[in-house]
Chains A and B, each alone.
Chain A
Amino acid sequence: MTKSEFLSPETEKQIIKKVLAGDTDQFCRLVRYHHKKIYFFILHYLSEAVVAEDLTQETFLDAYQSLPRFRGEVRFISWLTGIALNKVRNYLSRAPEKRFDILCIDHLIFPSVGEDPLENVQHIEFIDKLAKAIRGLPEELQTPFMLVCFEGMPYAEAAHTLNVAEGTVKSRIFRARKQIMKILDDL
């Protein structure tokens, strides 16, 4: 068992069955496989690493205790992301000033995109504007956009996570893209 162990959705279901049968150590395989993805998902919303670590841990603890309710309708990571999203929402409701930290790039280090320093600066400026545009989206558009465009979640799973119809997610992603273009035009 290594850190790079690949877990297919089927393997994950078998692991979950084993955990529910009492082999709790198996859950650690899921933790090792998914913890980075959940951590970075939370970090998109909260730039404070310590808070993101705490929420990541809480997410896995909640998932562990709620595992009997996981019915396998979506991939485990999507279910986990849904729990993390609720954690983030709860945290932001307690600390609304943190909403401005969504996709904050101040602490990020961007790899060079070319030899020309000016080109690199322009690239970072563009990403900064893009982040601001995403930050400017209303929550009903921002959340599905983050799930689909950042996390790579399929429409159906995003719909399940957000408890809305799949068509609603498609429509919201489209509206989000249009609004981002408009915000970028205005910047």
Chain B
Amino acid sequence: MAKILRGRNRLDMMVCEDALCLLSRNLDGDLGRDETLGLYLHLAHCDGCRRQMERMAVHDAGIAGLRRAYEQQAIRGDLCRQIETAVRKVKTPRSAGIVFLERWMPYRAHALAALTGFLAAVLIAAIAGMPPRGDTIPGRFYFNEVILQEIGYQSWPRPVVLAPGGTIGIAFNRSFEGYCHMKMAAPDGPVCLEILHDDPDIVADPVHSLTIHRAHYASLRNPRRNDRIVFTNKGDESLTISIQQPDGKDGFKITPRGDDTKI
């Protein structure tokens, strides 16, 4: 009872605009119990809103009549069948997951290959970005086993082919700061290559053997005047050696020396 009284007090405060809004919602069946009670309590003492309610109700009845008139129109008998036929002709719908699988399953081998290639590229990039490792002579000369795809330096002098048992020495006619890169390629390899750094006063362990599979890359850091590197092909196949000109050092010259009669 107290709740209803509180409602009555609140309703007495309801303005007609609010009541009309509730009236509209009431016609659409949207009012809850309390709102319905509040609306009817307002209508009980408001003639204007009662008249509006009657008008709205008449309009709604008119709309219902209009809707019925539409629905009594003839509808083409075969419309349904026509739609069904059209639906059967279009592609079958699938849930998003199935659509994804259907779309990519034919390319799974390609996708796998692409993924493998990507991972290999990432691995190579990671290795290439790593500092030279292994077979390192501290301070002067080191090798690494990175397979070079491209070398950003102009090759000079022209590559030389070292036959099995052949030897070639490379001497520097002056000192400079930077790296001299040497690329050794044995496409028919593997070939065992012996590398001698001909300066026993500085290098404690001057002889290195390197197995060349396809292409290897050696670097000489900060070569000095008269430094000499000797390569000997210890294998059964020929290999190619090319010297990469250090960047930004115009006029620098590397002179092949030694036993070049077997080249």
> Are B83 and A68 in touch, CB under 8 angstroms?
no
- Cβ of A178: which chain B residues have Cβ within 8 Å of it? 20
Cross-chain pair count, CB within 8 angstroms: 128
Smallest CB–CB gap between A142 and chain B, Å? 13
Residue in B closest to A37 when the chains form the complex, CB atoms: B71
Residue in A closest to B76 when the chains form the complex, CB atoms: A53
Taking a contact as CB atoms closer than 8 A, the residue among A43, A68, A108, A150 that contacts B93 in the complex is: A68
Given A22-B92, A35-B79, A174-B21 contact (CB < 8 Å):
yes
> Are A53 and B79 in touch, CB under 8 angstroms?
yes
> Are A61 and B86 in touch, CB under 8 angstroms?
yes
Residue with the highest number of chain A CB atoms closer than 10 Å, among B73, B76, B93: B93
The reply to whether the CB of B60 lies closer than 8 angstroms to some CB of chain A is yes
CA distance A40 to B72 in the complex (A): 10
Residue in A closest to B91 when the chains form the complex, CB atoms: A65
Interface-lining segment among A5-13, A87-95, A123-131: A123-131
CA distance A111 to B65 in the complex (A): 9
- Cβ of A111: which chain B residues have Cβ within 8 Å of it? 68-69, 72
- Cβ of B90: which chain A residues have Cβ within 8 Å of it? 61, 64-65
The reply to whether the CB of A98 lies closer than 8 angstroms to some CB of chain B is no
CA distance A154 to B76 in the complex (A): 29
The reply to whether the CB of B2 lies closer than 8 angstroms to some CB of chain A is no
Interface-lining segment among B94-102, B228-236, B239-247: B94-102
Residue in B closest to A60 when the chains form the complex, CB atoms: B83
Smallest CB–CB gap between A74 and chain B, Å? 16
The reply to whether the CB of A103 lies closer than 8 angstroms to some CB of chain B is yes
> Are B20 and A56 in touch, CB under 8 angstroms?
no
CA distance A57 to B78 in the complex (A): 12
> Interface readout for B1-28 with A: 1 if CB under 8 Å, 0 if not?
0000000000000000000110011011
Taking a contact as CB atoms closer than 8 A, the residue among B28, B62, B69, B98 that contacts A148 in the complex is: B28
CA distance A27 to B83 in the complex (A): 11
> Are B72 and A43 in touch, CB under 8 angstroms?
no
**Chain A to chain B contacts (Cβ below 8 Å), 16 pairs:** A31-B87, A32-B80, A32-B84, A40-B67, A40-B73, A43-B73, A68-B99, A108-B73, A109-B72, A130-B59, A130-B63, A131-B66, A149-B28, A170-B25, A178-B20, A180-B59
Listed in ascending order, the chain A residues whose CB lies under 8 Å from chain B are: 19-20, 22, 24, 27-28, 31-32, 35-36, 39-40, 43-44, 49, 53, 56-57, 60-61, 64-69, 103, 105, 107-111, 113, 123, 126-127, 130-131, 134, 148-150, 154-155, 170-171, 173-174, 177-178, 180-181, 184
